[in-house]
A = this chain, B = another copy of it.
Amino acid sequence: MSHQPDRPTDPTTDRAAEHAADHAADRAAPEPQPGGDLLRLDRQLCFALHAASRAFDGLYRRVLRDTELTYPQYLAMLVLWEHGEMPVKRLGEFLRLDSGTLSPLLKRMQSAGLVQRERSAHDERSVTVRLTAEGTALKERAQGVPLKAIEASGLAAEEAIDLRARLLRLTAALDAALSEEGA
């Protein structure tokens, strides 16, 4: 079951809705405002982000096929290619992931021969993640990935940069809200 459905009669997923969406706030309030379907707008917002993220995953899944990397593994490799070896903790800060996710992920990457893990000498609690020769070499085969991705996204470089900035701000705001209230 794949993802090019004869779409349902709903503007959210309707291609023709791309401009209509700009007026969704108006349309969503046939009632004055109070009970006015906030849930409807919420749906559209949630969906947009959630769906975009999954669509992006799907794209990378395809583009990364011949590297044998999953998308999250690719993200980890990008950090390691750029910054070199680092402790699991720090990698997790870059990726916004905790050890509950990273430990098994890194174990799989180690099985694939891409990275090596070693207990730090100074601090036995810490584990250093290091690229193997094979992992380093993989960078060459990944050179084409970003271009294919940006191409498929249909975004101009400008738009991409802008979108990224917005999303980073959004993430920061959400994290802040979570940590404040979440005492």
Contact = CB atoms under 8 A, between A and B. Distances in A.
A52 to B, nearest CB: 4
A177 to B, nearest CB: 4
A42 B167 contact: no
Nearest to A91: B8
Given A51-B171, A139-B39, A154 B179 contact: no
A8 B94 contact: yes
Interface stretch (A113-121, A128-136, A141-149): A141-149
A2 B98 contact: yes
Contact of A13 (B60, B94, B154, B162): B94
> Which of A2, A24, A172 has the most chain B CB within a 10 Å cutoff?
A172
Contact of A146 (B41, B81, B147): B41
A53 interface: yes
Given A45-B150, A55-B96, 16 more contacts: A1-B98, A13-B93, A15-B172, A21-B161, A24-B161, A35-B143, A39-B139, A43-B78, A45-B160, A46-B75, A52-B53, A52-B167, A52-B170, A56-B174, A152-B173, A152-B178
27 contacts: A1-B98, A1-B100, A2-B179, A3-B179, A4-B175, A8-B93, A10-B83, A10-B94, A21-B164, A22-B165, A38-B143, A45-B163, A46-B60, A47-B75, A47-B96, A51-B171, A52-B168, A53-B53, A55-B174, A62-B178, A152-B177, A153-B170, A153-B173, A154-B177, A155-B170, A159-B166, A163-B166
Interface of A: 1-8, 10, 12-13, 15, 17-18, 21-22, 24-25, 35, 37-60, 62, 71, 74-75, 78-79, 81-83, 90, 92-96, 98-100, 139, 142-143, 145-147, 149-155, 157, 159-179, 181-182
